[in-house]
Amino acid sequence: DTAVSQTPKYLVTQMGNDKSIKCEQNLGHDTMYWYKQDSKKFLKIMFSYNNKELIINETVPNRFSPKSPDKAHLNLHINSLELGDSAVYFCASSQEPGSLSEQYFGPGTRLTVT
Amino acid sequence: SQKIEQNSEALNIQEGKTATLTCNYTNYSPAYLQWYRQDPGRGPVFLLLIRENEKEKRKERLKVTFDTTLKQSLFHITASQPADSATYLCALAGMRFGAGTRLTVKP
């Protein structure tokens, strides 16, 4: 069983489009995250949810909107896609927020904006 | 501003040697520090967590040290194997990651 899954794995789209990435975890964790890993492999936190509540919102354009319908799911919707949005997006989960909990990462979604 | 720096982008060593990776940070006071491994095309995988009151933590061939005075963590892999080749990331405050060091172990 996959602990943290993401769909789709690859996403190629044109500038200006709107797209969504879905994430699901079956670990029973309370906290979920979205990260962006750019071409230089730098992994940067975007959002974190705990029990469906947004607890971390880094300096991310408001074109990015996370949604957590329940504790096991955290989706990422991106409006008006730009070239600079091209990256690998990782979803992760942990038992609780904070640095004591190890995070479990999904396989990533490679987004390419043309 | 807060910074997390990992000593080098890439490190090449011979099989059987000890690999030592460095994570330095500024303007942080983390109570914990984590190390992750990332293989190409995959998400990071948790390896070890060390608390500020722990000087050293071991797990099999892995050893992590944490010096809050120097603001530095060292990550060691002893008796390295080609299968240890990957990118290793340090993380502070659970979510602040360094850029990683790509380790290549040559047979």
Contact B3, B25 (CB under 8 A): yes
Which pLDDT belongs to residue A77?
97
> In whole angstroms, what is the distance from residue B95 CA to residue B68 CA?
18
DSSP state of B55: S
Note the pLDDT of residue B42. Answer: 95
**Least Cα separation, residue A29 to chain B (angstroms):** 15
Confidence class for position B79, pLDDT limits 50, 70, 90: very high
CB of A31 closer than 8 Å to CB of A97: yes
| Binding-face residues of A in 18-77 toward B, CB within 8 A | 33, 35, 40-45, 48, 56
| Facing A41 at nearest CB: one of B87, B92, B96 | B87
Among B residues 7-66, those touching chain A with beta carbons less than 8 Å apart: 30-34, 41-46, 49
Q: Does A105 touch chain B (CB under 8 A)?
A: yes
Q: What is the Cβ-side half-sphere exposure of residue B82, based on CA atoms within 13 angstroms?
A: 2
- Let me know how long chain B is: 107
Q: Is A59 exposed, middle or buried (0-12, 13-18, 19+ CB in 10 A)?
A: exposed
* Cβ pairs A/B, distance under 8 A: 58
Query: What token pair was written down for A13?
Result: 């789209």
Mean pLDDT across the stretch A94-112? 90
In degrees and rounded to multiples of 5, residue B69 shows phi and psi of -75, -45
Among the listed ranges A3-17, A33-47, A91-105, B81-95, which one has the minimum average pLDDT value?
Answer: A91-105
Residue of chain A whose alpha carbon sits nearest to that of B99: A42
For chain B, say whether A10 makes contact (Cβ under 8 Å): no
* Per-residue b or e along A44-55, where b marks 16 or more CB atoms closer than 10 Å to that residue's CB: bbbbbbbeeeee
A6 and A26 in contact (C-beta within 8 Å)? no
pLDDT in tens, A7-45: 999 999 999 999 999 999 999 999 999 999 998 888 999
Tokens of A62: 């408001």
Torsion of CA A38, B89, A26, A97, to 10 degrees: -100
The answer to whether the Cβ–Cβ distance between A99 and B34 falls below 8 Å is yes
Give me the amino acid identity at A57: N
Give the closest-approach CA distance of B96 to chain A in angstroms: 7
Comparison of pLDDT for A96 and A24, the residue scoring more = A24
Residue whose pair of structure tokens reads 């699901």 in the numeric block: A24
**Model confidence pLDDT, tens digit, residues A57-92:** 888 999 999 999 999 999 999 999 999 999 999 999
